[in-house]
Chains A and B, each alone.
Chain A
Amino acid sequence: MNRREFLVGSGVVLGASAVRPTVAGAQAQPPRGHIIAGLSERMLTLDPANHYSISATSVLRHVYDPLLDVTNDDKFVPALAESWRPVNNTTWRFTLRKGVTFHDGTPFNADSVVFTLKRVRDGKLVKSFVYQDIEDVQKDGDYAVTVTTKRPFGSLPAHLTMLGMLPPIAAGSEDAFFQKPVGTGPFRFVSWTHGDHIELAANPKYWKPGIPKVEKVTVRFITELSTRAAALRAGEIHVIDRVSPDMVQTLKGTPGVKVLDTPAVEAQRWHFQLARDNVKDPRVRKAISLAIDRNVIIKDLLLGYARPVVNPVPPGLIGHTNLGQKPYDPEKAKLLLKQAGQTNLAIDFVLMKDLYPKQLEIAQAVAAMLGEVGIKVNIRNLEIATAREQRTAGNYDLFFSGWAHMPHDPDWYFGQWFTKAGAEKMTRFNDPKVEQLIAEGRVPDPKVRQQKYEEIERILWEDEPELWPYYSVAIYAISDKLRNFEARRDYYVLLSEVGIA
């Protein structure tokens, strides 16, 4: 039994013992209590289509419902859509839930879906680029919608888990609407003090029975980890996200605080600039890969809060298959370098300052490991914007980065990094065979997708256009008063099914 099952189980026992033997005894308890969460990233907008922030996604999930949800074990489950199916390779049909209303009482129906999808496709919004493949959105009666796409869009349901549905009344007065938005979600929006906190109150008419469990949720935005941890340890807040491995011991030692972790949907991926003479030769890249002892990074620097990589895509996602760990073999690395005629190699390793836990220490350890095989590493720890500009300009050999597969689907990652158009200003990756497979893998059929992705992964694993040093682990710390909190793989903090003692 894993921790989650245990928590769910204990929740059931607690729930059962609390129910008094009355006639209405089987009924769920009314929401009770107030949860305060401390999130690492400031929410910048209440518009679900105008951001790609993980914090904002989790906050807004409480106010708006998407058509589908994704569970922590990567299953796509109904939310506002009761069911969905591909009619053909370029058509999806969604059957909608009946009897759902927005917080202002207007009914949720096909018009909301048509409005929300067309708005994100046609608007100049942060998420618009993802939905450019949508050809048309047609309603079929009040509770069914057909989406046709310009080319196969198999990952559409996955992307829709991140898009809250809006009422059509938002049209034309969006600025006013997003001052006090309404959704169909388990909580109503109450107030938002920019940069500080947002207040939510239970939606008593939520369509999912027994949800939410608490009356009030406050989400505070506390960007600095030590401050976030201090607020949790002081008992001011009940849950924090993005705990770093070296903070775990302190938090575990605090009475009333529990630390939870789970392998994230994020793979670290350090990409090569493939047009650079230094690392163009696959033998050089292989040598660099062989010279890095990934276990040292995982065990000594990340204190075990990372997992060995066996595929570019983390386990649980469509397409993942175990390709075995990359070996550590400095002798072979030296040999390969000699064969490639690169015995005096120096590479630029660019980091985006303070973005990933322990990244500088990790880069320094890698520099030492590569030094062992005769590669000089020049670490350039740059401001995020500068680092990205350097990448666009191609001024790097190796770039420290990670990829969180946010919609729990690897299509975005492949399409962005391994197609000519996507990689042009990034890694300069260009492989027509891979590009072909990515296009073929966009169809809705999961069997086809699995097979195409496995094929892509084998090519990448062999060619190593990037290094995959470890899968990240998501670490949360919570108050032991919380009931049924789930440490999510996608870094979300979701509280509608969480209770508080």
Chain B
Amino acid sequence: MQSYLLRRLWQSALTLVGVSLLVFVILRVIPGDPAKMLLPEGAPQSAVEELNRELGLREPLWVQYGIFVRSVVRGDFGQSFQYRAPALRVVVERVPATIQLALTAMLLTVVLGVSIGVLAAVRRGTGYDYAGTVLAVLGQSLPNFWLGIMLILLFGVTLRWLPTSGFQGWRYLVLPSITLAAFPTALVARLTRSSLLEILGQEYIRTGRAKGLAEPAVILRHALR
């Protein structure tokens, strides 16, 4: 067990180094000069050079990487070129909102996806099933940038129930998390439906019903497991 853990730790360390090296090289090889992007179009070449030197971008690549690794080891992730502020601060500021949005979307996916799937499977061939299937197909086929705009227009602009953008509390989470959850919800719903249907045909389900279990118990306690 211990040797396994050590091996995995070693492997992940290697992966980290590999990824950082790759990202580092790619970011510097692709076209685009950070100093030119920061300065206005009319900045003279000397100013571009100066700013690049200031940003440390005129050192050879391997020196830049060395500096980067040395600082990271000390817990310093460097300065964001764009914000001219510590990169770690720029990232950390965004973490809470990102996590909240991801969790809400995940919650929606599980709750809605499983419920729709179960309903469709249990009421197979009824209106519920068809409605569920239509929703699932829509969820998987609507591009989410479009869905997002439509939700904004309907709930933000026309009905004015929810804010159109920004982040200042839970109301701001509703539309983005629905948009984000649409695709995975549809996927989960379809998977739930088809695997539940398969299981409902199994012997032990019939046994359960035969011994007089109530239908909800059959579905929730046995089939969904």
Contacts and interface: CB of A to CB of B under 8 A. Distances in A.
B184 interface: no
A385 to B, nearest CB: 3
Given A129-B43, A129-B46, A194 B90 contact: yes
Interface in A91-125: 124
Interface in B47-97: 47, 50-51, 54, 82-85, 90, 93-94
A422 B164 contact: no
Given A44-B82, A124-B54, A220-B166, A227 B152 contact: yes
A196 B166 contact: yes
B165 A194 contact: no
B83 A45 contact: yes
Interface stretch (B15-23, B32-40, B100-108, B121-129): B32-40
Contacts of A403: 41-42
Interface residues of B, number: 36
B156 interface: yes
A236 B164 contact: yes
Main secondary structure of the interface of A (DSSP, over half): mixed
Contact of A416 (B33, B44, B156, B164): B44
A124 B50 contact: yes
Interface in A207-255: 220, 222, 226-227, 230-231, 233-236
A441 B47 CA distance: 23
A230 B33 contact: no
A388 interface: yes
Contacts of B13: none
Interface in A421-469: 421-422, 424-425
Contact of A234 (B36, B84, B160): B160
Contact of B47 (A129, A197, A222, A386): A129
B4 interface: no
A63 B190 CA distance: 55
Contacts of A236: 156, 163-164, 166
Interface in A383-412: 383-386, 388-389, 401, 403, 412
A128 B53 CA distance: 14
A126 interface: yes
A50 B84 contact: yes
Given A385-B31, A389-B32, A129 B44 contact: yes
Contact of B38 (A47, A126, A389): A126
A124 B51 contact: yes
Interface residues of A, number: 40
B33 A389 contact: yes
A190 to B, nearest CB: 14
Interface in B164-206: 164-167
A356 interface: no
Contacts of A45: 83-85
Nearest to A220: B166
B149 interface: yes
Contacts of A421: 44-45
Contacts of A220: 165-166
Contact of B84 (A44, A386, A425): A44
A223 B156 CA distance: 17
A47 B36 CA distance: 19
A52 interface: yes
B77 to A, nearest CB: 16
B34 to A, nearest CB: 9
Given A129-B46, A194-B93, A412-B42, A231 B84 contact: no
B25 interface: no
Given A222-B166, A403-B41, 20 more contacts: A45-B84, A124-B54, A126-B40, A129-B47, A193-B93, A194-B93, A196-B167, A230-B152, A230-B165, A231-B156, A234-B156, A236-B163, A383-B31, A384-B32, A385-B31, A385-B32, A416-B42, A421-B44, A422-B42, A422-B44
Top 3 A-B pairs ranked by shortest CB distance? A385-B32, A129-B47, A416-B42
Interface of A: 44-45, 47, 50, 52, 124, 126, 128-129, 193-197, 220, 222, 226-227, 230-231, 233-236, 383-386, 388-389, 401, 403, 412-413, 416-417, 421-422, 424-425
Interface of B: 31-33, 36-47, 50-51, 54, 82-85, 90, 93-94, 149, 152-153, 156-157, 160, 163-167
13 contacts: A47-B84, A52-B40, A194-B90, A197-B166, A222-B165, A227-B164, A236-B163, A236-B166, A383-B31, A385-B36, A389-B33, A416-B41, A421-B45
